[in-house]
């Protein structure tokens, strides 16, 4: 009877505990217990978002704005290449003038005749004039020899990489913002400590009562097991004692007396 009563009482307390746990959860108790964890996670997300935004600002303060004038950069690159060609032609015209004079002197020494010399001179002169026309164009940029390579690298590598980095940073900021918003919503559902205190107290009381009753029930079960073993051992001892009473030991010499009696008869 005592065991059955304890089992019923433990079951009732277990149901009461589950009800209290459900009510505690409905009132935001789990969120209240996780409040510090949520606040710590929120602080880390805010820190990461700020760092990502700083990186994005660095890109915005660096090469990224040049994307707005990429078409102008293209024109600058084309002009720089053109001016490199102009410089090349200037050097080439000077070298060609000396070369052409050497060729004419050689042809004259070979006595090829005036008509041939005149035609060769005209051909060489026409080529020099064509190159000289290009070499005489104004140098608007007048940049150094490495300027064209720098502009080309900027347009082909630096700006595309900056664009890709900015896209990745924007995606990261978006993801972090969503996670922060979800955490803010969860923190917004965390109840005040005063409001949840009574539910916490009821839950702790129900848990304590259930644990005490379960401990009492377990102790009773242990006592029952011990008594059961003791009863089994006692019954075994009684069985062994009964066997000895039913079959008493034969006294020493009694067997020879019976034999002697039979012989005498």
Contact criterion met (CB below 8 Å) for 148 and 80 = yes
Task: Using a cut of 0.75, tell me whether the model's pTM lies above it.
Answer: no
Query: For the packed helices 159-188 and 35-61, what is the interaxial angle rounded to 10 degrees?
Result: 160
Which residues of the chain register pLDDT less than 50?
1, 255-265
Angle, alpha carbons 191-32-181 (nearest 5°): 80
Rg (CA), the chain: 54
Instruction: Give the pLDDT confidence score for residue 238 in this predicted structure.
Output: 79
Contact criterion met (CB below 8 Å) for 51 and 172 = no
Instruction: Give the pLDDT confidence score for residue 172 in this predicted structure.
Output: 95
Domain edges within the chain: 1-12+197-241, 29-190
């Amino acid at each position: 009877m005592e065991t059955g009563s304890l089992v019923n009482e433990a079951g009732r307390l277990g149901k009461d505990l589950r009800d209290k746990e459900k009510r505690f959860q409905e009132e935001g108790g789990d969120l209240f217990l996780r409040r510090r964890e949520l606040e710590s996670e929120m602080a880390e997300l805010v820190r990461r978002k700020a760092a990502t935004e700083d990186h994005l600002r660095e890109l915005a303060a660096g090469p990224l704005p040049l994307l707005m004038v990429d078409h102008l950069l293209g024109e600058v690159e084309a002009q720089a290449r053109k001016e490199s060609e102009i410089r090349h032609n200037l050097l080439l015209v000077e070298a060609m003038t000396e070369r052409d004079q050497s060729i004419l002197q050689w042809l004259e020494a070979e006595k090829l005749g005036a008509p041939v010399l005149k035609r060769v001179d005209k051909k060489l002169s026409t080529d020099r004039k064509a190159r000289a026309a290009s070499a005489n164009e104004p140098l608007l940029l007048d940049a150094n020899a490495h300027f064209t390579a720098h502009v080309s690298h900027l347009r082909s590598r630096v700006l595309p990489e900056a664009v890709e980095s900015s896209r990745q940073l924007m995606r990261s900021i978006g993801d972090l913002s969503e996670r922060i918003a979800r955490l803010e919503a969860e923190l917004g559902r965390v109840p005040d400590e005063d409001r949840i205190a009574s539910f916490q107290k009821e839950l702790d009381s129900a848990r304590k009562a259930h644990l005490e009753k379960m401990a009492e029930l377990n102790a009773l079960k242990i006592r029952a097991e011990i008594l059961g073993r003791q009863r089994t051992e006692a019954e075994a001892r009684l069985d062994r004692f009964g066997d000895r009473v039913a079959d008493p030991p034969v006294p020493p010499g009694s067997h020879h007396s019976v034999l002697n009696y039979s012989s005498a008869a």
